[in-house]
Chain A
Amino acid sequence: MSKLDLVTLQFDHILLVERSLSSIEKLTNLSVHLYETNHDIDQYFNIERLQYDAAKILGMFEREKTLHKMLVYTSVDLFIPIFTFVFGLAKLGGSVAIVSSHRLRNEYYGLPTDNDLLQERLIKETVHELGHLLNLRHCMNFQCVMASSNSIDELDIKQNKYCSLCQSKLQQFFQQN
């Protein structure tokens, strides 16, 4: 079984991720290892937007050239220059992905805290960004975890697993690599 490194960086919900590890392993069919990092990301903070540049943080981790696929969890608000925000970011077939919990929290939308919902959203974003690392594009099936979600509602609508079509593409990917 291939390995996946889950790295936390300025992340406030480590407990939630720990609780999700078995689900993530089951959904992705990867052996998951969780650890924390103290990288300095202040240089990637944009003072005008009050957000962190997700692409630059990804670049920083990519330069470290890890052996396995890596997914970074953070609680800071992420952006890329053309978009007002991103829930997460990954390059197609890349080695590192990043997911932010900032806009996955109910509090961001003025709603009461719901850790179960946050955990579910974190799992969906994790499985989605990992899908991109494993060469999956967005899926037209709105229930598939690979469906594009540009708002929290779209994220909540979809399920946390790959549809049969994406599943078969994944199998093909693992056979070839």
Chain B
Amino acid sequence: MNRNEINILIVDDEKIVRESLSEWFIEDGYRVDIAKDAVEALNKLNKIRYDIYFLDIKMPGMDGMELHRRIREIDKDAVVIIITAYAAVDTAVQALKEGAFDYITKPFDPDNLSHLLRNAARQRKLTKENIELRGSLEALTETPEIIGKSKHIAEVKELIKTVAKTTTTVIIRGESGTGKELVAQSIHAQSERRFSPLVSVNCGALSETLLESELFGHEKGAFTGAMYRRKGKLEIANGGTLFLDEIGTIGPKTQIDLLRAIESKEFTRLGGNEIIKSDFRVICATNKNLEEAVKKGDFREDLYYRLQVYTITLKPLRERPEDIPELVTFFIKRYKEKMNKPVEGIDTEALHLLMKYPWYGNVRELENAIERAMVVSKEKLLRRKDFLLNQADDKPQFSSNISLEEVEKAHILNVLEKNNWNISNSARLLGIDRVTIYKKLEKYGIKRPQNV
């Protein structure tokens, strides 16, 4: 920001001050405008914004203090310098408390004024840069898209919008695969904390000791193998959001520590004494019945109430089939780009099948089904034959007197047959690797038919 890009407005009822100051600033290369009182200044502000304002505190009519407040209302980032006589320093100090950049007493020491103006220009430049950078960052930060046209999804979006602006603890409930993490991402992305990290911890995937270390961090030597000091997720989430997935699975000791940390925003690393302060917002998710867990004594009641401030419940996909067409289109588009396949959509019969299917794995299962269909499809539209769904349109039914191994064998065989004995595709759908599928085939004595 060069000097000739900086606009200064001088507001003073004394002509000599206005003229001398403006001449002095113009000589230094700044762009200067003058106003004899607050009314003239505010009129000018209707047409143009200035970077730096010099306001005389004592003026007939509206004084400099009130004008300062009005300018702040119009431009909260304006750099305002109060001009005062020695007698009015108290008022100038009050102006500083209300956000003025600095004050200067008449007559000015040229050296002081010069330094003040340079600092004010630097401050303005930094503020402008900051606004620009935030703008570009905002453009880069995508708000995760929640897909669906149902009334339920509209309500969820509204709930997210409402709670995002606050720092309230949120609990997201819903079956596995309904998109709880996506909701957490959306809350974070719409909050004031979006420029700070969203730190996710899957509580269900870690043992209690590991989870404690993951959350609170540890000091060097805190336990065997703790060779270095490590920051915990609570510390990393400073300024941002901490997303605790599967909160219902955490052990009793971690529950107490977590409750204390959430309430005080203070904690110590494992094996350490230093109190760490961290400003994090908590969003958690669970697919468990927490009320039941509280009754059984598995989940602390105080922690339950601490987390249960604002609840967003996600309905299972089978209860909102009207969202399926939009989700299908979205996933087809996603995988079309990823796989570079010329699939344009889905035919009516297949879509009808998908809308009738109960989707016990919810959106995650639907996404996997679409991915699988995209892999096998050789046409422009996905067809019923591309989907490997239980055609009975209901939960898979097994007799209660067969063993788990028999179920597994039947399922593997079924998947292989549907995939024309393509091992890689079948392994991906089953969520296991190729070596495992070969071992299972050997274990269950399943042999590839000669004609495949």
Contact = CB atoms under 8 A, between A and B. Distances in A.
A109 interface: no
A173 B376 CA distance: 81
Nearest to B3: A140
Contact of B26 (A83, A85, A86, A137): A137
Contacts of A138: 27-29
A84 B111 CA distance: 10
Contacts of A83: 20, 107-110, 113
A80 B111 contact: no
A75 interface: no
A118 interface: no
Interface in A106-131: none
Contacts of A81: 16-17, 20, 107
B29 A150 contact: no
Q: Is the interface of A mostly helix, strand, loop or mixed?
A: loop
Contacts of B106: 82
Interface in A77-97: 79-86, 91-92
Contacts of A148: 27-28, 114
B16 A82 contact: yes
B111 to A, nearest CB: 4
Contacts of A137: 26-29
B111 A82 contact: no
Nearest to A137: B27
A55 to B, nearest CB: 8
B89 interface: no
Contacts of A49: 107
A92 B17 CA distance: 17
Contact of A84 (B16, B20, B23, B109): B109
B21 interface: yes
Contact of B110 (A85, A91, A140): A85
B6 to A, nearest CB: 13
Contacts of B111: 150-151, 154
B374 to A, nearest CB: 62
Contacts of A91: 23
Contacts of A85: 110
A161 interface: no
A82 B21 contact: yes
A140 B29 contact: yes
Interface centre among A49, A82, A92 (most CB of B within 10 A): A82
Interface string B244-269: 00000000000000000000000000
B108 A84 contact: yes
Interface string A131-155: 0100001101000000010110010
Interface of B: 3, 16-17, 20-21, 23-24, 26-29, 106-111, 113-114
13 contacts: A49-B107, A79-B107, A82-B16, A82-B17, A83-B107, A84-B108, A91-B23, A92-B23, A92-B27, A138-B28, A140-B3, A148-B28, A150-B114
